[in-house]
Amino acid sequence: FEHIFKEMFNENIVMAGKVNLLNFANLEAYQFFDQPQKVALEIREGLREDQMQNVRVADGQESCLADLAVISSKFLIPYRGVGILAIIGPVNLDYQQLINQVNVVNRVLTMKLTDFYRYLSSNHYEVH
């Protein structure tokens, strides 16, 4: 049973573009991204329970993300809960453009996941 519970509560964390951090972040921040669980926790802690979207800009807290901008947004995973999409980058980002892009990706993700889980739960059988 232990492996079942481990799978049930395992997070799927996808990160891309880490090498781009070398252009604007310090080595400590770069190395922090080698620990996906800690990055996910840091992003999750930046969003309150009742908050769907957050923009955090160089907040100065004791964090490896303190000197970076973090745009994070929750999206619905139908029948499963919520996921979080985040963009992390330099402070001089085009915030309005990125927020719009995050919103579009959120909508598309939610639609695709809704279709996917609806398909799984429909007892779909193909007849050839």
Please give the pLDDT value at position 97. Answer: 96
Under CATH, to which class is 13-121 assigned?
A: alpha beta
- Comparison of pLDDT for 125 and 76, the residue scoring more: 76
Alpha-carbon dihedral sign for residues 51, 55, 58, 64: positive
Q: What is the mean pLDDT of residues 59-79?
A: 83
Question: What residue ranges do the domains of the chain occupy?
Answer: 13-121
Q: b/e per residue, 63-85, with b = 16+ CB within 10 A? A: bbbebbbbbbbbbbeeeeeebbb
- Report yes or no: 79 and 110 within 8 Å, Cβ to Cβ: no
Q: 22-58 pLDDT, tens per residue?
A: 888 888 888 999 998 899 988 888 888 899 999 988 7
Q: 102-124 pLDDT, tens per residue?
A: 999 999 999 998 888 888 777 65
Please give the pLDDT value at position 63. Answer: 75
- Report yes or no: 86 and 72 within 8 Å, Cβ to Cβ: yes
Give the separation between CA 84 and CA 106, rounded to whole angstroms. Answer: 9
Is 101 exposed, middle or buried, given 0-12, 13-18 or 19+ CB atoms closer than 10 A? middle
Structure tokens at 22: 């070398």
